[in-house]
Amino acid sequence: MMPPALVPQSRVLTSPWRAMAIAALAISTVLPFVILLLQSFGESWRWPDVLPSGLTGSAWRAVAGGSLGRAAVNSAALGVATAVAAVCVALPVGRSLAQLQGAWRHVAAALVFLPVAAPPIALGAGLQIVTLWLGIASTSVGVWFSHTVPAIGYVSLLFLGVFTSRGTEAEEAARTLGASTWHTWTMVVIPSLRAPITEALAIAFLISWTQVALTLVVGGGALRTLPLEVLTLVRAGQDRPAAVGALLLIVPAIAALAALRLGARRTDALPT
Amino acid sequence: MTRAANALSVEGLAVPFATPASLSSTAGPQGLHLISLEVARGERVVLLGPSGEGKTSLLRAIAGLTPVSAGRIQVGDLDVTHMSAESRGTVYLHQTPVLFPHLSVEANVAFPLTIRRVPAAERTRTVHTLLERLHLGELAKRAPHTLSGGQKHRVALARALAAKPNVLLLDEPLSALDPVLRRDVRDAIREAHAESDAGLLLVTHDLDDATSLGDRLAIMLDRTIAQVATAEVLFASPVSVAVMRFVGLHQEFAGVVRDAQSVDTPLGAVPMPRGATASRDALSDPHVSSLSSGQRVVLGIRSDAIRCQSSAPRSSADRRELTNTLTLPSARVLSISHRSGGTTAAVQLSDVVMHALVDPMSLPPIDSLVTVHIDVRGLIVFPE
């Protein structure tokens, strides 16, 4: 009897099953965007038509100067402000956490993670009370504050990992060479953390950019952001502008993804 | 105003090891205690000791990177005990060189000058001089991650010298290096320090590195400085059994004091090691004078003072050499070992085994009988 032919393991893994799995993933990822794109340009698109009856750019033209455009500008400004504030706070927080030892480090890390782990609606309820106390409820500043809290949590954890892996040797070297705390941070720590800081800015921006619950609960409609505008359009059945808004929401996500990839490629810039 | 002769003076220093709570009063048994040490300008002192004795902690405390609980640190004329790391005039180099990854080699070397706002022309001149001195001229524009291990050490040394420190603190710069790189870094340290009047305090585990680099060696045992001396004095006259054991140059035998002239040992009666060398007298006399008949002692014999040979000396020159020699009865050769320090034979005398240098050109056969000669200038005795 002939022995069964040996099939290399790699051939099994690159079988048609693998191709099908990749195709399924691609379709599920790309298809919604293709549909949104068609929807945003389609004149009318009714069941059971496979494609829209005609194409128009009217919804896109309406963005500039319209509510979607204003909301996109609001979201972008809010995202930038959130990202800058979160990174400014999270950098020293992450470094301090990395210097803690034993149980204190776990406790502090858990506290930082709390706003990240808590459901946004629960966090929003808590932050609403805080913003009321501070007198910034239902204001743009209140919304920015509410976005910054979870962003700080995420980004602090990121910097905790960064500082834990790097240690404080570079700072110590700079200090014994005569650098003050200011020089150490501006000439050594921050420049050598360019990649992680880019990543942190991107993540914090996205946290703010995609935020709905906190904007609604704390802002109470005072600040119209892009996600809120898209939500309103979807609920009103205005499919074409809603599709345009949804696509606008995706653009920064793709840009942030590119920034993260770029940052990942630069992470070999560790102290040598 | 005259400059202080010492680059560094440490007096009664205590450094806690564990938690900030132990900073309260004194370091106690968990930390360094009663550390006193001086490093002269331009001098190289090597800190030697077993792992866990706190050599790195001492360096970090001097650099201002670890808090101290008692004592005083003076750099030049200045008491820096409670000053911040950046104000002390000490530069601390980590075991693995820490270069700033976003700066080129020359920008790394220029860093201490940049933060001091040294004018550009002077900065360029100093950096160029240091790079040339450490053979880094061609690497000036390179990024740190493109350098070899030895080159990184050289850049870190050049950068440290650019800061013009009073004291240079090097934490095990030679550990975890292969022999070739080790030699390269050792040369770099010598070259870097040659034209500097900074005091240099360096930690190493290796006795060869220590003797090669240090003007004086400081032995750390039981979390304090046990002895500071030149290699010659340290090897000839360790101040305690612990130092003698750490240095590891002596072979140890139990003994009992017979009288002021001799000690009974398993090797037979050996002369009381007194007045053999001028340098040792001062240190060993207190031990010897405090000994009494019948007292148990530890006898140390420097390994390079023990030789064996197959036949008795023949020439008159040999006899002259034997003036200070104790000749032991015939011993049996158990084995021969070839090491970089010389070829030795393990020999047995009754129930004692000792190691003796042997002429590699005329090795005695295993199991043959040899004569063992001990240079009595290599003897030292301590109360048990």
Q: Measured between CB atoms, which of A175, A180, A188 is closest to B100?
A: A188
Task: Name the average pLDDT for chain B.
Answer: 86
**Closest residue on chain B to A172 (Cα):** B65
Give B164 to chain A, closest Cα distance, Å.
9
Question: Does B185 have pLDDT greater than 90?
Answer: no
Q: At residue A67, what are phi and psi to the nearest 5 degrees?
A: -65, -35
Structure token digits, residue A13: 């893994």
Q: Average of pLDDT values for B121-148?
A: 92
Chain A residues within 8 A (CB-CB) of chain B? 169-170, 172-180, 183, 187-188, 191-192, 194, 268-272
Q: How confident is the model at residue B272 (pLDDT cuts 50, 70, 90)?
A: confident
Q: Are residues B222 and B254 in the same domain?
A: no
Whether residues A177 and B159 touch (CB distance < 8 A) is answered with yes
Taking the mean position of all CA atoms in its chain, how far away is CA A255? 10
Among B182, B201, B229, give the residue marking a domain's end.
B229
Residue B234 lies in a domain: no
Smallest CA-to-CA distance from A199 within A162, A169, A225, A237 is with A162
Q: Measured between CB atoms, which of B91, B96, B97 is closest to A176?
A: B91
CB B217 within 8 A of CB B226: no
pLDDT tens digits along B316-343: 444 444 578 888 878 899 999 998 778 9
d(CA A138, CA A218): 6
CATH number of A58-266: 1.10.3720.10
Whether residues A192 and B101 touch (CB distance < 8 A) is answered with yes
Question: Does B304 have pLDDT greater than 70?
Answer: yes
- Residues of chain A with Cβ-Cβ distance to B85 below 8 Å are 172, 175-176
The residues pairing with B380 across neighbouring beta strands, listed in sequence order, are B300
**Closest residue on chain A to B107 (Cα):** A187
Q: Are residues B376 and B264 in the same domain?
A: yes
Whether residues B99 and A272 touch (CB distance < 8 A) is answered with yes
Q: Are residues B89 and B156 in the same domain?
A: yes
In the block, which residue shows the tokens 């993260």? A260
Question: Does B186 have pLDDT greater than 60?
Answer: yes
Q: Average of pLDDT values for B63-71?
A: 93
pLDDT in the model for residue A85? 97
Tens of pLDDT, residue by residue, chain A (272 residues) = 445 555 555 555 567 888 888 888 888 888 888 888 888 888 877 777 778 887 888 878 877 778 889 999 999 999 999 999 999 999 999 999 988 888 888 888 888 888 888 888 889 899 999 999 999 988 999 999 999 999 999 999 999 999 988 888 999 999 999 999 999 999 999 998 888 998 899 999 999 999 999 999 998 888 999 999 999 999 988 888 899 999 999 888 888 777 777 766 654 444 44
Percent of chain B with pLDDT over 90: 55
d(CA B103, CA B123): 15
- Residues of chain A with Cβ-Cβ distance to B90 below 8 Å are 176
**Closest residue on chain A to B102 (Cα):** A192
Q: Are residues B174 and B246 in the same domain?
A: no
SS3 A131: helix
Does the N-terminal peptide bond of residue A48 adopt cis geometry, omega within 30 degrees of 0? yes
Percent of chain B with pLDDT over 70: 88
**Closest residue on chain B to A190 (Cα):** B102
Smallest CA-to-CA distance from A108 within A122, A92, A120, A121 is with A92
Mutate to test the interface with B, among A104, A176, A186 (most CBs of B within 10 A): A176
Q: Are residues B202 and B322 in the same domain?
A: no
Which residues span the domain enclosing B138?
6-229
Q: For chain B, what is the radius of gyration of the CA atoms?
A: 25
Residue B256 lies in a domain: yes
Among B176, B205, B229, give the residue marking a domain's end.
B229
CATH number of the domain encompassing residue B277:
2.40.50.140
Cβ within 8 Å of residue B71, ≥6 positions away: B10, B11, B12, B13, B14, B35, B81
> What is the DSSP code (8-state) at residue A189?
I
The residues pairing with B346 across neighbouring beta strands, listed in sequence order, are B335, B355
SS3 B314: coil
Whether residues B98 and A170 touch (CB distance < 8 A) is answered with yes
Give B45 to chain A, closest Cα distance, Å.
20
Q: How confident is the model at residue B139 (pLDDT cuts 50, 70, 90)?
A: very high
Q: Are residues B282 and B197 in the same domain?
A: no
pLDDT tens digits along B15-35: 987 654 444 444 445 788 888
Q: Are residues B127 and B224 in the same domain?
A: yes
- Residue B230 vs residue A54, higher pLDDT: B230
SS3 A42: strand
Smallest CA-to-CA distance from B161 within B203, B198, B211 is with B198
Whether residues B94 and A169 touch (CB distance < 8 A) is answered with yes
d(CA B36, CA B40): 14
**Closest residue on chain A to B62 (Cα):** A176
pLDDT tens digits along B32-55: 888 899 999 999 999 999 888 889
Whether residues A176 and B64 touch (CB distance < 8 A) is answered with yes
> What is the DSSP code (8-state) at residue B81?
T
Q: Are residues B319 and B293 in the same domain?
A: yes
Give A163 to chain B, closest Cα distance, Å.
15
Q: Are residues B212 and B251 in the same domain?
A: no
Q: Are residues B287 and B383 in the same domain?
A: yes
Question: Does B284 have pLDDT greater than 50?
Answer: no
> What is the DSSP code (8-state) at residue A88?
H
Report the number of secondary-structure helices (H) and strands (E) in chain A. Answer: 14, 0
